[in-house]
Amino acid sequence: MSTVGWIGLGKLGAVCALTLAKHGGHRVIGYDPSPRPAQILRGEVPPPQEEGIEALLPGADLTLASSPAQVVATADDVVFVAVQTPHSPAYGGETPMPQEPQDFEYQYLVQAVRDLCRAAAEQAKPITIAVISTCLPGTMNRLIRPLLNEFTTLVYNPAFIAMGTTIADCLKPEFVLIGADDRRNAQPVLDIHATVHDRPAQIMSIESAELTKVAYNVAVSTKIVVANAIMEICHKTGADCDAVTDALAAATDRVVSAKYMRGGMGDGGHCHPRDLIAMSWLAQRLDLSTDVLGYMVRAREAQSSWLADLVQQWGEQTGFDIMILGKAYKPGSDLTGGSPALLLAHQLRQRGLKLEHWDPHVDTGGAFAPDRPGVFVIATRHDEFPDYRFPSGSVVIDPHGYMPDQPGVTTTRVGRKG
C-alpha cells in the first residue's frame, strides 16, 4: 500500500481520489482549500451524483491535509493535481461563443503546482507532480515547467471521464494517457494506475498528451456535429435520421474505426471530395443551419494550401526545384480521381511555381533518378518511396510521416517529432 498525494478534491478529484483509495488500496492524502470535501466525508452535504459513490465513501482511506506541504510530507512520491482550469461562463457552451474564443484560466493550476514545488524544495523531498487538469498544448511548458525545481518531476496525466460515470471511467478507462519527458518519469504514475485496472497506457511527450486530451473531445464533437447535420438534412428531405446514423454506426470497418485517424493529405478518390462538394450544394439548397459540409470542403483545400506554403517556403529557402512524388489518391494505385496530390500541384502552379510531378504507378516509363538536390514532396503514400535515394542536400517533405532519414537529406515528417 502506498500513500498517494492529491491536490484539488472537486467534482473529478474527490471521486477519483476515493476510487483510488477504495479500489487501489492506497492511503490518499488530499488538500483542497474548499470546506466541501470535508463536509462530504462527514456526511454533511451530499456527495457528487456519481453512480456507485455511496459504496466508496465508507472506509475509503482519504485523509484531508491542512496544507499542500502536509501532502508533500506524507505522500510517498506521486501527487495528483486536479484543480479547476475554468473559463468565464461566456465560454462554457451554455450561450453562443463570443466573437473571440479564449484559452482556459490557469491561475489555480499555477498556484497549486507552485505550492507543491515550494514545499518539495523546503522539505528536500522528491515528488512526481501528475497534473490531471485539462489544458491546451504548450501550457505545461509555458506555465508549469518554469515552476519546477530539482525535487520535482512533471507528468501530465489527464482523465477521460464523464460526470456521472466517473468511478466506472476511473476503473476502466479506454487507456491511460501519460505525457512525460521520459518513461522513467511515467513509471510511478503507471504503477498507481495498475493497482486499479490493467488498461493499456499511451505514453508520449507532454505537449502530445495535452493535445490528445482535448483532441479526443474534438473527435467526439465532430461525430456529433456530423450526426446532427444528418438529422437536419433528414428533417428537410424526408430521410430518417436514425436509419442513416444506425447504418453508419454499423460500418465498423471504415466509419467507426481507427481507419483514417492519421494526419496526411486530404481525402481523395472518385467519390469523396465529389460527394462532399455535392452535399455542400445540398446544404445550401436546404438552407442548413450551418454550412458544415461546405466547411469540410474548404478545410480540405485550406490544409492543402497550408502544405503548399510549406513547400513554397522550402523552395524559396533552398532555391531548389520542386518535385511532387505521387499523383494517385491512394498507395499502390494509378487512380488519380479527386486526388489531393493533384490539388496540391494545382495550388503550387497557381502560385506561379514551376514543378515536376511524377508517379511511378501513373506515369509510364522513366525512373526516379534526379541528378541534383531538390525539394521532394511525398504526396502519395506509395510503398516504394521510402526506398528512393535523394541527392545529398535535398529536402523531403512527408505529410504521411513514413519516410526514413537519409544521410545529407533533410526529411520533414510534417507534424511529427523526430
Asked if 74 contacts 65 with a C-beta cutoff of 8 angstroms, the reply is yes
Does 34 bind ligand NAD (CB under 6 A)? Our answer is yes
* 210 near ligand NAD (CB under 6 A): no
Across-strand partners of 6? 30, 80
By the rule CB under 6 A, 118 interacts with ligand NAD: no
Could you tell me how many residues of this chain bind ligand NAD (CB under 6 A)?
24
Residue written as grid cell 504507378: 361
Query: Does 370 sit near ligand NAD (CB under 6 A)?
Result: no
Are 78 and 130 in contact, with CB atoms under 8 Å apart?
Answer: yes
132 C-beta neighbours (distance < 10 Å), count: 22
Answer for which of 79, 155, 159, 322 binds ligand NAD (CB under 6 A) is 159
Asked whether 331 and 264 are in contact (CB, 8 A), the reply is: no
Three cell numbers written together for 287: 438552407
Residue closer to ligand NAD by CB (options 170, 343) is 170
* Grid cell digits, residue 87: 473559463
Measured from the CB atom, is 158 or 399 closer to ligand NAD?
A: 158
- Does 7 bind ligand NAD (CB under 6 A)? Our answer is yes
Cβ proximity to ligand NAD: between 79 and 345 the closer is 79
Site for ligand NAD in 43-102 (CB under 6 A): 82-85
By beta-carbon proximity to ligand NAD, the closer residue of 32 and 61 is 32
Joined together, the cell numbers standing for residue 72 give 508533500
- The closest residue (CB) to ligand NAD is 10
The SS3 assignment for 31 reads: strand
261-320: contacts with ligand NAD (CB under 6 A): none
Among 18, 24, 29, 134, binds ligand NAD (CB under 6 A): 134
Nearer to ligand NAD, 108 or 388 (CB): 108
Beta-carbon contacts of residue 198 (< 8 Å; ≥ 6 apart): none
Q: How far apart are CA 153 and CA 79, in angstroms?
A: 10
161 binds ligand NAD (CB under 6 A): yes
Per CB under 6 A, the segment of 132-140, 252-260, 299-307, 380-388 that binds ligand NAD is 132-140
Among 4, 5, 13, 119, binds ligand NAD (CB under 6 A): 13
- Please give the backbone phi and psi of residue 252, each rounded to the nearest 5 degrees, phi first: -80, -5
Q: Is 106 in the site for ligand NAD (CB under 6 A)?
A: no
Residue 8 within binding range of ligand NAD, rule CB under 6 A: yes
Element holding 318 (H helix, E strand): helix 292-318
Collapse the DSSP code of 389 into the 3-class scheme (helix H, G, I; strand E, B; otherwise coil) and give the result: coil
Q: Give the Cα-Cα-Cα angle 408, 410, 411 (nearest 5 degrees).
A: 125
Q: In what helix (H) or strand (E) does residue 176 lie, and over which residues does it extend?
A: strand 176-180
Q: Does 9 bind ligand NAD (CB under 6 A)?
A: yes
Alpha helices by DSSP H, 319-367:
340-350
In angstroms, give the least distance from the CB of 336 to ligand NAD: 44
Q: Which of 196, 130, 188, 195 has its CA nearest to residue 168?
A: 196
Query: Which of 74, 111, 208, 228 is in the footprint of ligand NAD by CB under 6 A?
Result: 111
Comparing CB distances to ligand NAD, the nearer of 159 and 395 is: 159
CA atoms of 18 and 24, how far apart (whole Å): 9
Select from 19, 133, 152, 280 the one that contacts ligand NAD (CB under 6 A): 133
User: Of 109 and 375, which CB lies nearer to ligand NAD in the complex structure?
Assistant: 109
CA–CA gap between residue 148 and residue 186 (Å, rounded):
16
| Interaction between residue 112 and ligand NAD (CB under 6 A) | yes
Nearest Cα to Cα of residue 386 among 365, 368, 412, 405: 405
CB of 150 to ligand NAD, least distance (A): 22
By beta-carbon proximity to ligand NAD, the closer residue of 135 and 293 is 135
Contact positions vs ligand NAD (CB under 6 A): 7-13, 31-34, 82-85, 108, 111-112, 132-134, 159, 161, 163
